[in-house]
Amino acid sequence: METLLGQGRAAIDLIVDAGSFTEGTVGARTFDDPDFGPGAVVGTASLEGETVTVIASDAEAFNEKFPVVYSGIIGLEEGYKMAQAVYATLAADAEKAAASKRPIVLIVDTPGNGPGKVEEIFGMNKATGAYQLALAEARLAGHPIVAMVVGRAISGAFLCHGLQADRILSLTSEFQTMIHVMPITSVSRIIKKDVELLEALAKSNPVFAAGPAFFFKLGGVERLVETIDGMRPAIAAQIADIRKAKADKAATALTGPRGRGALGAERGGRTVRPKVQELLRSEFAAVEERFRPRAN
Amino acid sequence: MPNWNRLQTNSFLECSARDRAVGLVDEGSFVELGGPFDRLVSPHLVALGEAVENDDGIVTGVGRIGARPVFVISQEGRFIGGSVGEVGGAKMVGIIDMAIDFNDRLVAEFPDLPPSARPLVAISFETGGVRLHEANAGLLAHAEVMDALQRARHKVPVVALIGSRIGCFGGMGFVAAATDAIVMSEFGRLGLTGPEVIEQEMGKDEFDASNRALVYRTTGGRHKYVMGDANFLVDDTVAAFRAQLADLCALPVSSFEAMRRIGSPELVEKQLRGVALAAELKPSDARDVWRHAGNNDPVGLADGPLADFRKSVRRLAL
């Protein structure tokens, strides 16, 4: 079976309209320095005729300045570069109505955030956080954001590049896609439970097992895509659907992280979450009066 | 209920999550929401046959500081390292959402409501991030918290308080970075990849996790204050954290924008000046950055009393 793991650039070409990807340009912004954040590929393309911002990782790139960045790792420069691409997207459509803001397509194949001493001294948490806030801002402003997992979507790097999207699609595991915090063998070592036990439990509870199918059951992935050719129409369909959901004033269909929360309950993977929140609300309602402005 | 007055002089570092929650707000004002009697236990720990806590290791509630309703989230490091799973994550998001909703309703009803009477969120972090026993649910919960923080922007200030044993690492490291203001003690630690993980991934030459001094130099409160990541560096008492929080409670939400480190294109450009400096300096130790910031005796500065440090330290200008 074919795989796109480690081939973020090839994946871009398979997803967008043939020959339409212009790397390094998003709206009025250009990224001219080839040595700046080489692990992050940003640019503009068209998808079924519509202008979209594309953000991907380049697993072949090595960041000379920050040697922990290779194999698609998101380092300090990469995180901020991705954030810049999102802000440039927001700026490009600032005058447009929410319904006509351009989509952002995240092509996900990243094994992690930069793990290093310099990264911690300067604050890798800020770089990944900055990108997430930018994506959340763009999503709330109306830009449809679709993440397409084509390879590795691992832990904090998936939070950074993927989990703030309106909708998440993943190629099925036949394509060697990986979605997890840690492989089950590592989980087993750290929480001191036999792998056999965990694998048996994973059949009924997808909450610690690795792979797109388990994330699907938890509502962490909206849809699995079974063919490479299927990616482009699936993304385009999601964009149309996201626009519909966002235009719905009653917000009956949520998108983004909380949409996936609702989906988690619907698919039976995360059923406690809504109960917890409902309980907090009812308990606060009972004491709210105490916290309202006091009459003078 | 713990004795509020006695709590104030306690070491923040040694305090339980509940003591922090109670002590940070005005005496007698804290109401726990989703408390232990609600038995919000993790079903995933139950499935694994693991011990559970009736609050899932996160204390949530609401209190007051003066006229201001303060929604509190306080993580307990003594329960599975303060890790966040489905229930704990839902509690965090639920509290932030309620603060936003309450703010919206109050402002609609009382358009002239002074800032000091509008809701604020305080998060006392003590966590290594995602709980591995329910890793996937924990991961998805982190994304929801980040979304909630962005929704709170320009409406409800969110303040991070970091000074507990476990520090604030993993996904919660960027959650803290995404808040409006960060208050730390010198014993607080903040980062993304914890010391042990860096050593495991990159080797002991890159990072020796057993070297406590190195760990604090890299992620501790004093360093994060020099870097501008911590806005305030306070003494290790509940009273000191509370006093700083009370000061912040006087401010309108607009004043918090200037304290942020990320969350706008301008701030990204500012952080990138730091990244360029990192590439240029290639620091082998945080002290190299302190020196660059204008501190000629970083070792003396690091080892001296906190009051002297606060007085004489030069913070990195980007």
B9 CB burial (10 A radius; 0-12, 13-18, 19+):
exposed
Q: List pLDDT tens digits, range A258-271.
A: 999 999 999 999 99
Averaged pLDDT for residues B149-159: 98
Contact A116 B137 (CB under 8 A): no
Tell me the shortest Cα–Cα distance from B15 to chain A, in angstroms: 24
Q: Is the pLDDT of residue A251 over 80?
A: no
Phi/psi at A225 (5° precision):
-115, 130
Asked whether the beta carbons of A173 and A212 are under 8 A apart, the reply is yes
Is residue A281 less than 8 Å (CB to CB) from chain B?
yes
Partner B, chain A 89-118, Cβ-Cβ below 8 Å = 91, 113, 115-118
Phi/psi at A208 (5° precision):
-125, 0
Interface probe with A: pick from B54, B58, B109, B136, most Cβ of A within 10 Å: B136
Contact A129 B174 (CB under 8 A): yes
Q: Is the pLDDT of residue B164 over 60?
A: yes
Asked whether the beta carbons of B97 and B148 are under 8 A apart, the reply is yes
Phi/psi at A29 (5° precision):
-95, 140
Token pair of A5 as six digits: 């793991």
Cα B124 from Cα A4, distance rounded (Å): 42
Beta strands A29-30 and A25-26, pairing class = antiparallel
Asked whether the beta carbons of A38 and A58 are under 8 A apart, the reply is yes
Tell me the shortest Cα–Cα distance from B77 to chain A, in angstroms: 16
Count Cβ–Cβ pairs < 8 Å, chain A vs chain B: 267
Averaged pLDDT for residues B224-249: 98
B270 CB burial (10 A radius; 0-12, 13-18, 19+):
middle
Partner B, chain A 168-227, Cβ-Cβ below 8 Å = 180-182, 187, 190-191, 193, 201, 205-209, 214-215, 218-220
Cβ-proximal residues to B284 (8 Å cutoff; 6+ apart), any chain = A117
Q: What is the mean pLDDT of chain B?
A: 96
Is residue B283 less than 8 Å (CB to CB) from chain A?
yes
The closest CB to that of B265, out of A87, A121, A273, belongs to A87
Interface probe with B: pick from A181, A184, A292, most Cβ of B within 10 Å: A181
Partner A, chain B 7-66, Cβ-Cβ below 8 Å = 31, 33-34, 38, 40, 42-44, 47-48, 50, 60, 62, 64
Averaged pLDDT for residues B219-244: 98
Q: What is the pLDDT of residue A1?
A: 58
Q: Which among A32, A101, A26, A91 is positioned nearest to A56, based on CA atoms?
A: A26
Interface probe with A: pick from B103, B140, B205, most Cβ of A within 10 Å: B140
The closest CB to that of A181, out of B139, B147, B178, belongs to B139
**How big is chain A, counted in residues?**
296
Please report, as a single letter, which amino acid is at residue B206: E
- Is 0.90 exceeded by the ipTM? yes
Q: List pLDDT tens digits, range A39-84.
A: 999 999 999 999 999 999 999 999 999 999 999 999 999 999 999 9
Contact A158 B139 (CB under 8 A): yes
Cα A83 from Cα A86, distance rounded (Å): 5
Q: What is the pLDDT of residue B36?
A: 96
E strands of A111-176, at which residues?
145-154, 167-171
Residue of B nearest to A87 (CA): B265
SS3 sequence of chain B = CCCHHHHHCCCCCCCCHHHHHHHHCCCCCCEECCCHHHCCCCHHHHHCCCCCCCCCCEEEEEEEECCEEEEEEEECCCCHHHCECHHHHHHHHHHHHHHHHHHHHHHHHCCCCCHHHCCEEEEEECECCECHHHHHHHHHHHHHHHHHHHHHCCCCCEEEEECCCCCECCHHHHHHHCCCEEEEECCCEECCCCHHHHHHHHCCCCCCCCCHHHHHHHHEHHHHHHHCCCCEEECCCHHHHHHHHHHHHCCCHHHHHHHCCCCCHHHHHHHHHHHHHHHHHCCCCHHHHHHHCCCCCHHHHHHCCHHHHHHHCCCCCC
Using pLDDT thresholds of 50, 70 and 90, give the confidence band for residue B201.
confident
Cα B34 from Cα A273, distance rounded (Å): 12
Contact B133 A181 (CB under 8 A): no
Contact A120 B218 (CB under 8 A): yes
Averaged pLDDT for residues A22-41: 98
Q: List pLDDT tens digits, range B39-48.
A: 999 999 999 9
Q: What is the pLDDT of residue A295?
A: 61
CATH code given to domain B4-190+229-263 = 3.90.226.10
Residues A10, A15, A20, CA angle at the centre, nearest 5°? 85
Tell me the shortest Cα–Cα distance from B248 to chain A, in angstroms: 18
Residues A54, A155, B135, CA angle at the centre, nearest 5°? 140
Q: What share of chain A is helix, strand, coil (3-state, %, to 5)?
A: 45, 20, 40
Q: What kind and span of H or E run contains A50? A: strand A50-57
Cβ-proximal residues to A249 (8 Å cutoff; 6+ apart), any chain = none
Chain B residues with CB-CB distance to A120 below 8 A: 191-193, 198, 218-219
Q: Residue A23 forms beta bridges with which residues?
A: A43
Cα A150 from Cα A163, distance rounded (Å): 14
Cα B239 from Cα B236, distance rounded (Å): 9
Residues A73, A242, A22, CA angle at the centre, nearest 5°? 50
Chain B residues with CB-CB distance to A118 below 8 A: 278, 282-283
Interface probe with B: pick from A26, A35, A133, most Cβ of B within 10 Å: A133
DSSP per-residue codes, A161-213 = TTTTSSEEEEE-GGGT-EEESS-HHHHHHHHT--HHHHHHHHTT-TTS--SHH
Q: Which among A126, A128, A276, A139 is positioned nearest to B87, based on CA atoms?
A: A276
Q: What kind and span of H or E run contains A10? A: helix A8-15
Q: How far is CA A272 from CA A238, A262, B103, in A?
A: 27, 11, 26
Domains defined for chain A, CATH in brackets:
8-291 (3.90.226.10)
Q: List pLDDT tens digits, range B117-137.
A: 999 999 999 999 999 999 999
Token pair of B129 as six digits: 């991030």
Higher pLDDT, A210 or A285: A285
Radius of gyration of chain A (CA): 20
Tell me the shortest Cα–Cα distance from A280 to chain B, in angstroms: 6
Q: What is the pLDDT of residue B26?
A: 98
Q: What is the pLDDT of residue A253?
A: 79
Chain A residues with CB-CB distance to B293 below 8 A: none
Chain B residues with CB-CB distance to A273 below 8 A: 86-87, 89-90, 137, 141
Interface probe with B: pick from A280, A281, A287, A288, most Cβ of B within 10 Å: A280
Contact A283 B268 (CB under 8 A): no
Q: List pLDDT tens digits, range A147-176.
A: 999 999 999 999 999 999 999 999 999 999
CA atoms within 13 A of residue B178's CA, in its CB half-sphere? 31
Q: List pLDDT tens digits, range A86-106.
A: 999 999 999 999 999 999 999
Q: Is the pLDDT of residue A8 over 90?
A: yes
Cα B296 from Cα B299, distance rounded (Å): 9
Asked whether the beta carbons of A235 and A15 are under 8 A apart, the reply is yes
Q: How far is CA B247 from CA A280, B72, B301, in A?
A: 28, 16, 27
Q: What is the pLDDT of residue A40?
A: 98
Is residue B104 less than 8 Å (CB to CB) from chain A?
no
Task: Report the Cα B166 to chain-centroid distance in Å.
Answer: 11
